Structure 1
Amino acid sequence: MTRHALLDSLAHRDLRVRTRSSAALGDAVMACLVMPGEFRRAQAHYPIVFRRDLETGKFTALALFGFENGENLFLTDAGWDAASKPLAQAVQPFLIGQGASGNAQVHVDLDSPRVAMGGDDGIRLFDEAGSPSPLLEQVSQDLGDLDEAYRASGAFFAALERHGLLEPFTLEVPLDDGSRHSLVGFHTIDEEKLRTLAGDALGELQAEGHLLPLFMAVASIGRFSDLIARKNARAAGG
């Protein structure tokens, strides 16, 4: 369940947010949305794949954390085992809303396990005077960055389809214990198609700022070996 509310310094003066990473707080997820503007940072840790929405037919990009639903191989007893999280994961339990005049607003999911009203567990969002805490200021910045990146992403995905640069992807994951996992239902960049693009098409992609995230998505595929190593270590009790 979700219960979204516009964040208010009076109504939510004592609201606190638990910022640590744990399964109980909603981090036991296989993947999350990642924007093209984040690919450079994300590819240092996560494989980036693409998925088509069956209802809208539109593509989104995902950073993979595991190979099956509910599995996050970056989640450990000590917290999140990577230097950064994709913004869509990092901003939880907040989301961006729009006021009557079109201005951006910070909303919060009051039913999130990260939210606490009062007590000492978590970080306050407002000080005693009702001013935003450093945490809230960072959240506001991250939400703005995420919203801007989301608005810009449509042109990137349209360019991928226009040039036929996505291909279905299936990965067989053999593990040290003899078991196998199959990863299906995703797409990756068609590297052969990218290599053989005509010069004018490459120039168009470069002019539109799409080449860098394209190459970062290709580079991220190398992270599958790291993810498999994490899976083996987890299976071995490491």
Structure 2
Amino acid sequence: MTHHAVLDSNSHRDLRVRANAAAELGDGVMATLTVPSEFRSVQGHFPILFRRETGRDDFTALALFGFEPAENLFLEGGRWDARYRPWSLAIQPFLIGRPASGDGPGQVHIDLDHPRIAAGGEGVRLFDAEGGPTPYLEDIAERMGDLDDGYRASGAFFAALREHDLLEPFSLEVTLDDGSLHSLVGFHIIDETKLQALDAGALARLHADGHLMPIFMALASLSQLSALVARKNRRLASG
């Protein structure tokens, strides 16, 4: 269940949220949404894969954390074991809300039924005693704005990938140290062969439109697959 409300300093003056990382707080996920403007930060830690929306031609980009549902190999107790935390995960339990028309500036909403909503004196305050936003809330608002801008701009990125047929199906079978087999299916990656075959004019247009760098970042991120396998093997070895 969710209970979304517009965040305001009067109704939510004393509200606190749990900012630590834990599966029970919403971090127990195999992957999370990322956007092209975030790829540079994501690629140094997580593989970036693409998935087609169910029943649609649209794609989304995902930062991968594990090999099976609800598996996040970057969770170590109450600690996030990476130097970066993707925006879509970091902003929970907040979200951007807009009028039904979809026009107008976004508003900060909060899910009051989210497990990150703290009880008593736990967690981090959102507002100070005078009703001003705390540094924590200011940081969250900045990340939300970045994510919202990136998501709105991502349509042009995926349109460019479709125009040049630069997404190819991807599957991966991994045999782990204990002999078990894990498979990734239903994803896409950048087709490097087709990218290399593009002529100078097409590459220049991709660069001018700001798409070439995210493409390269998504390709570079695939080197993180072997690191993710190593994390899985360490987790299995430690029981």
Please classify the TM superposition score into its range, dividing by the shorter chain length: over 0.9
* Match of residue 135 from structure 1: 136
Q: Who is 2:106 aligned against?
A: 104
Tell me, yes or no, if the aligned pair for 2:66 and 2:73 is still in contact at 8 Å.
yes
Residue equivalent to 1:38: 38
Please, what TM-score do these two structures have when normalized by structure 2? 0.96
The 5 A counterparts of 1:96-175 are 96-98=96-98, 102-117=104-119, 119-175=120-176
| Alpha-carbon offset, residue 116 of structure 1 | 2.1
Do the aligned partners of 1:47 and 1:64 also contact (CA within 8 Å) in 2? yes
CA distance in 1, matches of 2:78, 2:94: 23
> Counterpart amino acid of 1:14?
D
Q: Do residues 193 (structure 1) and 194 (structure 2) align?
A: yes
Residue matched to 1:19: 19
Residue 188 of structure 1: SS of its match in structure 2? strand
The farther-off stretch of 67-76 and 135-144 is 135-144
- The alignment of Structure 1 onto Structure 2 pairs a total of residues equal to 237
CA–CA distance in structure 2, aligned partners of residues 195 and 225 of structure 1: 24
1:134-164 Cα shifts (integer Å, max 9, x gaps)? 1111111111111111111110011001100
Quote the sequence identity (%): 61
Query: How far is the alpha carbon of 1:213 from its aligned partner?
Result: 0.4
CA apart distance, 1:56: 2.6
- Where do 4+ consecutive residues of structure 1 move more than 6 Å? none
1:229 aligns with 2:230: yes
Aligned equivalents of 1:166, 1:57: Cα separation in 2? 12
List runs of 5+ in structure 1 lacking aligned partners.
none
User: Is the 2:16–2:117 contact (alpha carbons within 8 Å) kept by the matching residues of 1?
Assistant: yes
- Residue 110 of structure 1 aligns to which amino acid in structure 2? L
| C-alpha contact (below 8 Å) 1:28/1:70 kept by paired residues | yes
1:115 alignment partner, SS class: coil
Report the RMSD for the aligned CA atoms in angstroms: 1.2
AA of the residue aligned to 2:184: L
Q: Aligned to 2:73, what secondary structure does the other structure show?
A: coil
Residue 12 of structure 1: how far off its partner (Å):
0.7
